Structure 1
Amino acid sequence: MNFDSMMPPDPFAGDPNDPASFLEADEPLPPLSDEERERVREDLELVGEFRRALEPRGVLGVFFMCEDCDEQHYYDWDIMAANMRATLAGELSPVHEPSARPDPSAYVPWDYCLGFLDGMEAR
Structure 2
Amino acid sequence: MAGVNYDAQMPRDPFADDPNDPASFLEADEPMPPLSEDERASIRQDLELVAEFQRVLAPRGIQGIFFLCEDCDEFHYYDWDIMAANMSATLAGELSPVHEPSAQPDVSAYVPWDYALGYLDGLDAR
Question: TM-score, normalised to structure 1's length?
Answer: 0.93
Residues 29 and 91 of structure 1 are in contact (CA less than 8 Å); yes or no, is this contact kept in structure 2? Answer: no
- Alignment of 1:120 with 2:110, yes or no, is no
Which of 94, 99, 104 is the matching residue for 2:107?
104
Paired-residue identity, %: 77
2-side partners of 1:13 and 1:19: how far apart?
11
Q: Which residue of 2 aligns with 1:80?
A: 83
Q: Secondary structure at the match of 1:4?
A: coil
Which range moves more in the overlay, 86-95 or 65-74? 86-95
Q: Deviations over 1:52-71 (max 9, x none)?
A: 01000000000000011110
- Alignment of 1:53 with 2:50, yes or no, is no
2-side partners of 1:79 and 1:3: how far apart?
13
Q: How many residues are aligned here?
A: 122
1-side partners of 2:10 and 2:106: how far apart?
21
Post-superposition offset of 1:3: 5.9
Structure 1 residues not aligned, in runs of 5+:
none
1:3 to 1:120, Cα distance in 2 relative to 1, 3 A: farther
* Structure 1 runs (4+) greater than 6 angstroms displaced: none
Q: Structure 2 matches for 1:19-38, cutoff 5 A?
A: 19-38=22-41
Provide the aligned C-alpha RMSD in A: 1.3
1-side partners of 2:104 and 2:76: how far apart?
11
Structure 2 residues not aligned, in runs of 5+:
none
